[in-house]
Amino acid sequence: MPTPSPRNLDPKFSEESAMPDEDTPQEDTKDVTPDVAEEETDDTPMVVYHQPVLKPGGVMETVKHGPMPVSEWAAYEKEHNL
């Protein structure tokens, strides 16, 4: 037998059922947003490469490559001569 709570002992709540009705829509009790949930399930290792480039006039800049899955990096690196 479950331990009675103050709500169970109060007569004005006696008509309340312990189990929610199946017809009543229930709230999603997760505190995780869909974006966060996708990030948690997607454990693909990613690569980001910052390539230093010398521009005319002696100015150094960085070109960002990625993020991309590690499995695709070898082909990308070969294709772009990195």
The confidence band for 26, taking pLDDT boundaries of 50, 70 and 90, is low
pLDDT the model gives residue 2: 61
**Cα separation, 21 vs 15, whole angstroms:** 13
Chain centre to alpha carbon of residue 54: 37
**Higher confidence at residue 22 or residue 80?**
80
Map out the domains of the chain as residue ranges. Answer: 45-82
Closest by alpha carbon to 48, among 82, 20, 14?
82
Strands 46-55, 59-69: pairing kind: antiparallel
Q: Which residues pair with 64 in a beta bridge?
A: 50
Q: pLDDT digit string (tens) for 28-66?
A: 555 656 555 555 556 888 999 999 999 998 899 999 998
Do the Cβ atoms of 81 and 75 come closer than 8 Å? no
